[in-house]
Structure 1
Amino acid sequence: MPPSGGSRSYRQLYRRLVKRLAYSLYDIVAIGASLAISLILRMNGHIPPAMLEGMFDSLPVFLISGLVVLQFSGIYNRVWRLASLPDLVRLVEAAVFAVVVPVCVLLIASRARWMPTSVPIIQCFVLMALLAGGRMWQAILRQKIRRLHMPRVGRAAHTDMVASQQRALIVGRPEYVEGVLRHLELVPLPPYLPVGILDVDSPEAHLRLRGVSILGGIDALEHAVDALTAHNMRPTCIILAAGPDGLTGPAKLKLVTTAQTLNLSVLRAPAATEIDHPLDLERINLADLLDRPQTELDPAVVSRAIQGQRVLITGAGGTIGRELARQVARFEPSELLLLDCGEFNLYSVEMELRENYPQISCRAILCSIRQRQHVMAVFAEFSPAFVFHAAALKHVPLVETNVCAGVQTNVMGTRNVADAAKRFGVRAMVQVSTDKAVNPVGVMGATKRLGELYCQALDLEGAGRPSSPRFMTVRFGNVLGSSGSLIPLFQRQLDRRAPLTVTHPEITRYFMTVHEAVQLILHSTARAMEFGLKRGRIIVLDMGEPVKIIDIARRMIRLAGLVPERDVPIKIVGLRPGEKLYEELFDERETQLPSDLAGVFEAEPVPVPLPTLQVGFDRLLDHVLAHDQEQVRDELFDMLEKVTRSPVKDRPIDLAEARGATLPAVHLGQVSWPAKGAVGQTH
């Protein structure tokens, strides 16, 4: 009987003694059972009487010697419900000596003649299994009891509790990942539900660790998220469990940047020696780069618009186009048409969707939007209901030196897609635009501005006819982590420990994640179709305040575990051709309006008549076909100046006039137009 009314220490001592006695009794039974089982296995169940008699005579030696060995091995001083690899190694050593010592005693005493040579070897393995099983049952039983008691909270309550959990993708080395998983298993309802593992040491997939699948290496982050999303298990966060050394430098920066573009928060788990209840996770993200919370929009409105519809995405192999394809696929369109002129990018996005969304009908169309007849043939064959126009040339310096290519894609290509959408009666076309289209000073911004004006003119042309197609423009800033953008450039420079290049110490930009950008595109479509967005308006995401590029460079250096200017210098290289010091989201002559959609603004630009644009586009096309770069540049900015300037300032515009009447040019703000034959200057 335990000492009644004793102190807590006496009760604890009593429990330890009882537990040790229970383990000792179990181990005595295990030693005897292992000897009998090994002999039965060796003799295939037919034990001669002499051998059986020898076993019983030797049994006391095995029991006494084995128990003494186990007592001195230290296996009674370990917490077996939280067993680790060193614990199991010690148990194996104890089992081996618990067999070897009595066998040596019998050999010295010449009492081992009855024993076949292989029996001690078999007994070692049997005893290991019995000793381990007797110590692991607590953890197994604990899990079973937790599952049995789970329904008692009620099915609805349990569903609510599970819904409150964050799905976590755990990234790190297996030995540290295992510690995090074990910790989460000990909590009755952990705040994080592990849905997959990425191994930073090995890219090998299709293995499991404590029941959780290893989905590949650290470079497989995007693929793993897509695969989990397709199974309705999209993670909401990443838990980084890389150990005391951690994941540092460019590898860590790449992980956090990629996670940011996938709208995943990153949490750092403490080293295994630091793990204590509750699990203390430190948040790591690029929120400081955005300096604002990310915008989350209601998916229900998008589902009502897209589900069961045929959807066409141009530029499907690009950063925006690929994310569009992923998000659209989740809303179960009747068919997803992927159009791109890049063979490899188109193949990649098609394979990704076929693997992750096998239930979605998906078709890859190799086509350039510059090829008008080919574009018309695609629309004639498939008759899409919604068109997301993401195909564009976006790299400012490249478009600045390849003017004809920029005009062919961003102006003529947009006209081709929009005309096809009008001719074949799509429900809505959404054009992806950029803040560089506001008061453009370079070729890229100017071409995107003409694309905006053309879509606006087509949208206004259908006013008064509810069945006419909608043509909408979505305008946003720089996309974090997109191909050819700022963040990947800084990553490559950090990989080489080269100076981070910034064009000007005061240059600022608006930033958003690709997840936000695509949400904006989808919601602009859904809102226009369901809530009747007024024709001719541009939708703009509220991206907070612009961020200094030099501040982003410093923060990225610190995120990589380095010190700016000491470990990695920052080099000012001067503004590039066609680059502005400050970007704007609204022109001074655009009416900025609030939106019913949270985190979104609407802009109402002064429209330009469709015939005026058609005539200007035809002149541009003539110069492009002649491949006269300078003439194309001159004509591009001359056209913008004519259609956006007016001697009559602040003159109200009539919609009927915008749909076809002769319209005086309208002033759209103080823009530093490039001189003929010169590159764009900074605004």
Structure 2
Amino acid sequence: MPITASKQSLLSLPRFVKRTIAMFFDTLVCAFTVWLAFGLRLDQWGNFQGSQWWIFICAIGFSFPLFIIFGLYRAIFRYVGSAALASMVRVFIIYTALFFCTFTLIGVDGVPRSIGIIQPILLFIAIGASRYFVRYWLGGLNNIQKSLHKAQPIALIYGAGSAGRQLAAGLASNKEILVKAFIDDDPHLQGSTINGVSVYPNDGMQELIDRLDITDVLLAIPSASQARRSEIISSLNGRGVRVRTLPGLIDIASGRVRISDLHDLDMNDLLGRAVVPPEVRLLEKNIRDQVVLVTGAGGSIGSELCRQIIKFSPKSLVLIDNSEHSLYLIYEELKRALIGIEDERLAAVGSDQAPLPHSVFPIKLVPCLASVRDGDLLLWIFRAHQPNTVFHAAAYKHVPLVEQNPAEGIRNNVFGTFTCAQVSLECGVSQFILVSTDKAVRPTNVMGASKRIAELILQAMAEIAANGEHSTNFLMVRFGNVLGSSGSVAPLFSAQIAAGGPITLTHSEVTRYFMTIPEAAQLVIQASAMAVGGDVFVLDMGEPVRIYDLAVKMVYLSGLLVKDDAHPHGDIEIKVTGLRPGEKLYEELLIGDNPQPTAHPKIMKAHEEFLSWDDLQQELEKLNVALDASDGDLIRGMLKKLVPGYQPNGDAVDWNGGDFLSNDHST
């Protein structure tokens, strides 16, 4: 119940004034319950006389000291909870004992002995009801319910099939979540009960959520289509419930389900679209029994590429990253994954053979701590391991950071790619795949411009390879934002929601193309199997998503409400901070028009202009000189010359080398 101006004025009164009002009200209640008790006992409403007035004096004299001693006037009425109720029970046990002894056991002339029982009961009901009415009237009821639900969430399981029943049984064993209802689309299950829990149709879900004080909706519908899941999730937007999905069926069956095992919805649910299953033939082509090398192996895309690659039995996987911590994490994760793969293989064939020792795997993992700009070290690594396929995912990709450190961004994204491509050409790598970005199309920031130049390098080298004796096949795969990757909005919004807000948004109309990390990695691998040299592949990312809508959806699915002008008492505020330097309102995937279809429905091939190797090499030499000289104007001019569509948006400063796009050091 919202707090109006009149209620707010009452709440703003000094504490002692509010206590005085409460005590005056309780005096009236004491007098009223005495009068009511006499009327009920004597079946007439009359005047009091003589010793009958003692009952008024005793009612007030017994109650007020007890109310004060047990803290009934210290409690904040609009937050009355179980502790205050327990205090009231203790007060009235003592009060009833005193009243019963005085007016029932001892007795007072003119006062029926049954009044010693009737009046305490009436007073307890009246005082308790008044406290809970105030709590409800002042809007505290919902707050109390939320605080109680934090202690034990109350869940509704969507799906009364095998998965839902096992989930309910697993949750019942640990008492962390109370399951009060099932919902199922199957009319044959509706109206039945499962272990005492009723199954309802979905058309009354909102009424059920309100009536049962549901805090969590758990999706247990593994066989449902993505479209059906999206429909259910959309119907729960703004309902004040947290939407989560079930853990693995093994954990459910073993009874090990805990609150921490329940997952928030995955990124496909946030996007609300179906994922096209990958084609195994394309995934295997450049991986099975091959030596595969991944640069930036510890990053968001690089690490997912590694996870997907080991599923298709490469001969060895070489991991390159310049971050010791990131390299260590992905190396240890892949070792654990290989143990699981080997155990599953043995279980599938029913072998009695002992699992492989942890130090020996059919897939060799080689972690290499190296920078893609170190040509000599890369050459040594490539000659030592002779990779057949190289996935180049190493890049600085965070737009604002690269905008403020443009020289380092260009050195890493442009010349790191140049070095890797040259070494690959020299060592006879079969496939070199550059992981690119939609920000390379008509870029407004340094990161996007640097990635477009990296594409130009590969396009020019592909021409050299096609006209010479080299057999390296160079290709680029361009896609948009990846939900869940480092620097992506989804993890940022999740953290801001968990912290109580606000969610920070640069512009309410910003749109982006999105896909999930596994989907992006699989499509990159599949695109590599279709290249013939110099191809620019573009991933079909569906319709662009409005970031504001994504933020609202994440708030709703966390069981919270957006705080705005229409809902001033909501939970999470969304603040618009303004576009950052180099940031676009929307992104594009194509420089030209008319992309060509491929054998995969989610992968298109673009035909875009590029520079010859001779011309490009001269411009790269000039760019390198400008970087060494930390000449901001010259660097900007070179970027515009190399990338005709580059239009800087806003000023930026190179913190490592002085001014870049502005003479204003306060930027």
- Residue 554 in 1 paired to residue 552 in 2? yes
Map 1:635-646 onto structure 2 (within 5 A). 635-641=638-644
SS of 2:475's partner is strand
Task: Write the distance in 2 (CA, Å) between the matches of 1:302 and 1:172.
Answer: 38
| Offset of residue 289 of structure 1 | 3.5
- Residue 298 in 1 paired to residue 286 in 2? no
Instruction: Tell whether the 8 Å contact from 1:315 to 1:341 is kept in structure 2 after alignment.
Output: yes
- Residue 476 in 1 paired to residue 479 in 2? yes
Q: Hey, what does 2:615 align to over in structure 1? A: 612
Q: Hey, what does 1:346 align to over in structure 2? A: 327
Instruction: Tell whether the 8 Å contact from 1:265 to 1:284 is kept in structure 2 after alignment.
Output: no
Task: Write the distance in 2 (CA, Å) between the matches of 1:560 and 1:282.
Answer: 11
Task: Write the distance in 1 (CA, Å) between the matches of 2:326 and 2:239.
Answer: 29
Q: Quick one: structure 1 residues 595 and 316, their matched pair in 2 at CA, closer, same or farther if it must change by over 3 Å?
A: same
Instruction: Tell whether the 8 Å contact from 2:582 to 2:649 is kept in structure 1 after alignment.
Output: no
Task: Write the distance in 1 (CA, Å) between the matches of 2:620 and 2:546.
Answer: 36
Q: Which amino acid aligns with 2:523?
A: L
Q: Quick one: structure 1 residues 524 and 251, their matched pair in 2 at CA, closer, same or farther if it must change by over 3 Å?
A: farther
Match among 487, 504, 509 for residue 506 of structure 1: 509
Q: Hey, what does 2:535 align to over in structure 1? A: 537
- Residue 574 in 1 paired to residue 578 in 2? yes
Task: Write the distance in 2 (CA, Å) between the matches of 1:295 and 1:394.
Answer: 26
Match among 295, 315, 325 for residue 314 of structure 1: 295
Task: Write the distance in 1 (CA, Å) between the matches of 2:292 and 2:239.
Answer: 41
Task: Write the distance in 2 (CA, Å) between the matches of 1:492 and 1:432.
Answer: 27
Instruction: Tell whether the 8 Å contact from 1:297 to 1:598 is kept in structure 2 after alignment.
Output: no
- Residue 325 in 1 paired to residue 323 in 2? no
Instruction: Tell whether the 8 Å contact from 1:433 to 1:475 is kept in structure 2 after alignment.
Output: yes
| Offset of residue 175 of structure 1 | 3.9
Task: Write the distance in 1 (CA, Å) between the matches of 2:376 and 2:392.
Answer: 17
Task: Write the distance in 1 (CA, Å) between the matches of 2:429 and 2:418.
Answer: 15
TM-score normalised according to structure 1 size: 0.54
Q: Quick one: structure 1 residues 640 and 355, their matched pair in 2 at CA, closer, same or farther if it must change by over 3 Å?
A: same
Match among 162, 176, 195 for residue 172 of structure 2: 176
Q: Which amino acid aligns with 2:384?
A: E
| Offset of residue 300 of structure 1 | 2.3
Q: Hey, what does 2:462 align to over in structure 1? A: 459
- Residue 600 in 1 paired to residue 603 in 2? yes
Q: Which amino acid aligns with 1:601?
A: M
Q: Quick one: structure 1 residues 457 and 555, their matched pair in 2 at CA, closer, same or farther if it must change by over 3 Å?
A: same
SS of 1:583's partner is coil
| Offset of residue 477 of structure 1 | 0.6
Q: Hey, what does 1:516 align to over in structure 2? A: 519
Task: Write the distance in 2 (CA, Å) between the matches of 1:623 and 1:467.
Answer: 31
Task: Write the distance in 1 (CA, Å) between the matches of 2:271 and 2:456.
Answer: 29
Task: Write the distance in 1 (CA, Å) between the matches of 2:400 and 2:648.
Answer: 18
Identity of aligned residues (%): 38
| Offset of residue 173 of structure 1 | 9.6
| Offset of residue 636 of structure 1 | 2.2
Q: Hey, what does 1:393 align to over in structure 2? A: 396
| Offset of residue 178 of structure 1 | 8.5
Instruction: Tell whether the 8 Å contact from 2:318 to 2:365 is kept in structure 1 after alignment.
Output: yes
Task: Write the distance in 2 (CA, Å) between the matches of 1:618 and 1:338.
Answer: 30
- Residue 526 in 1 paired to residue 540 in 2? no
Task: Write the distance in 2 (CA, Å) between the matches of 1:326 and 1:250.
Answer: 36
Q: Quick one: structure 1 residues 634 and 541, their matched pair in 2 at CA, closer, same or farther if it must change by over 3 Å?
A: same
| Offset of residue 287 of structure 1 | 4.0
Instruction: Tell whether the 8 Å contact from 2:414 to 2:453 is kept in structure 1 after alignment.
Output: yes
| Offset of residue 481 of structure 1 | 0.7
Q: Which amino acid aligns with 2:318?
A: L
List per-residue Cα deviations over 1:398-448 (Å, max 9, x = no partner).
000001110111000000001111111100000000000000010000000
TM-score normalised according to structure 2 size: 0.55
List per-residue Cα deviations over 1:480-535 (Å, max 9, x = no partner).
1111210111011111112111111111000000011101111011222xxxx4x3
Runs of at least 5 residues in structure 1 that lack an aligned partner in the other structure:
1-164, 181-235, 240-247, 273-280, 642-667
Task: Write the distance in 1 (CA, Å) between the matches of 2:241 and 2:327.
Answer: 27
Q: Which amino acid aligns with 1:556?
A: M
Instruction: Tell whether the 8 Å contact from 1:634 to 1:677 is kept in structure 2 after alignment.
Output: no
Instruction: Tell whether the 8 Å contact from 2:241 to 2:560 is kept in structure 1 after alignment.
Output: no
Q: Quick one: structure 1 residues 397 and 625, their matched pair in 2 at CA, closer, same or farther if it must change by over 3 Å?
A: same
Map 1:203-352 onto structure 2 (within 5 A). 285-287=266-268, 289-352=270-333
Q: Hey, what does 1:149 align to over in structure 2? A: none
- Residue 584 in 1 paired to residue 588 in 2? yes
Q: Quick one: structure 1 residues 567 and 372, their matched pair in 2 at CA, closer, same or farther if it must change by over 3 Å?
A: same
SS of 1:569's partner is strand
| Offset of residue 640 of structure 1 | 2.1
Q: Quick one: structure 1 residues 505 and 674, their matched pair in 2 at CA, closer, same or farther if it must change by over 3 Å?
A: closer
SS of 1:473's partner is strand
Q: Which amino acid aligns with 2:579?
A: L
Instruction: Tell whether the 8 Å contact from 2:434 to 2:477 is kept in structure 1 after alignment.
Output: yes
- Residue 440 in 1 paired to residue 443 in 2? yes
SS of 2:391's partner is strand
Instruction: Tell whether the 8 Å contact from 1:250 to 1:495 is kept in structure 2 after alignment.
Output: no
Map 1:639-678 onto structure 2 (within 5 A). 639-641=642-644, 678=661
Q: Hey, what does 1:90 align to over in structure 2? A: none
List per-residue Cα deviations over 1:159-199 (Å, max 9, x = no partner).
xxxxxx9999x98995437899xxxxxxxxxxxxxxxxxxx
Match among 311, 329, 336 for residue 355 of structure 1: 336
Instruction: Tell whether the 8 Å contact from 2:439 to 2:587 is kept in structure 1 after alignment.
Output: yes
Match among 422, 430, 433 for residue 430 of structure 1: 433
Q: Quick one: structure 1 residues 177 and 443, their matched pair in 2 at CA, closer, same or farther if it must change by over 3 Å?
A: farther
Q: Quick one: structure 1 residues 287 and 311, their matched pair in 2 at CA, closer, same or farther if it must change by over 3 Å?
A: closer
SS of 1:373's partner is helix
List per-residue Cα deviations over 1:567-607 (Å, max 9, x = no partner).
111111100111011100111x3541112212111111112
SS of 1:527's partner is coil
Task: Write the distance in 1 (CA, Å) between the matches of 2:335 and 2:269.
Answer: 36
| Offset of residue 378 of structure 1 | 1.6
Give the total of aligned pairs. Answer: 400
| Offset of residue 336 of structure 1 | 0.6
List per-residue Cα deviations over 1:324-374 (Å, max 9, x = no partner).
111111111111100000001101111111222143100100001122222
List per-residue Cα deviations over 1:297-330 (Å, max 9, x = no partner).
2112322331111110000000111111111111
Q: Which amino acid aligns with 2:291?
A: R
Instruction: Tell whether the 8 Å contact from 2:242 to 2:556 is kept in structure 1 after alignment.
Output: no
- 610-619 or 670-679, larger mean C-alpha shift: 670-679
CA RMSD after TM alignment:
3.8
Runs of at least 5 residues in structure 2 that lack an aligned partner in the other structure:
1-160, 178-224, 230-237, 256-261, 339-360, 564-569, 652-658, 663-667
Instruction: Tell whether the 8 Å contact from 1:591 to 1:605 is kept in structure 2 after alignment.
Output: no
SS of 2:534's partner is coil
Match among 557, 561, 564 for residue 563 of structure 1: 561
Task: Write the distance in 2 (CA, Å) between the matches of 1:393 and 1:603.
Answer: 24
| Offset of residue 282 of structure 1 | 13
Task: Write the distance in 2 (CA, Å) between the matches of 1:347 and 1:282.
Answer: 26
SS of 2:328's partner is helix
SS of 1:512's partner is strand
Instruction: Tell whether the 8 Å contact from 2:474 to 2:535 is kept in structure 1 after alignment.
Output: no
Q: Quick one: structure 1 residues 167 and 323, their matched pair in 2 at CA, closer, same or farther if it must change by over 3 Å?
A: farther
Task: Write the distance in 1 (CA, Å) between the matches of 2:383 and 2:449.
Answer: 30
Instruction: Tell whether the 8 Å contact from 2:267 to 2:483 is kept in structure 1 after alignment.
Output: no
